[in-house]
Structure 1
Amino acid sequence: MSDVPETSVDDLPADAVLLDVREDDEWEAGHVEGATHVPLGEVPGRLAELPEGDPLYVVCRSGNRSGRAVAWLNAQGLETVNVAGGMRAWAAAGKPMTADSGRPTVI
């Protein structure tokens, strides 16, 4: 995915607008506070619901699904950037997460 722009969790701007493309159970287990959740398979049909970001940063569990989302979204004319390593890298870096119930984790 060398043609997909990406950044590390450490280089992510503090005011980054995040789109989380993981599945519902993954989101519920733990996510970044303030991120917008749209599962990857629903992105094409929910473009109007995506947050405005300049650029919009896209995250999944490890960076693969978000990389596919970034490639597709950029082809649609949006400016998006993949978060390398995804939520696994986020958690490993000790970044804050929240969960719908219980202790936040990455599944």
Structure 2
Amino acid sequence: MTTRPVGLHIDQNVGAAYIQINDKPVARTVEVTADVLVDLDALDMVVGVEILNLTSEIPIGQIERQFHIHSDAVALLQKIRPSVASFYTSFSTSAGSATNTTVSCEAVQPC
């Protein structure tokens, strides 16, 4: 099992995204804001971040304070901020746009 960032999955149809931090099973989900949910494993480490509105800001500081998260995962979130929509706009300009997109971690940072 890896603990490295895995990818960013964007669904333009519903205007949501999932930032997968690692591939551990999700034990529980916690609402951070109305538009941001954090998936945690059995040890309360961040597994992923679900963004329900692509224009919502990712509350990185709050996620760092409230949950256990690796520094490389924080670096990944910082590269995507302020929102998935702004990251996707810059990414899709160079890569072409699609309704559903999976961005590998290599596109955001070296894996």
TM-score bracket for this pair, using the shorter chain length: 0.3 to 0.5
Relative to its length, the structure with more strand (as a share) is 2
| TM-score when normalising by structure 1 | 0.36
| TM-score when normalising by structure 2 | 0.35
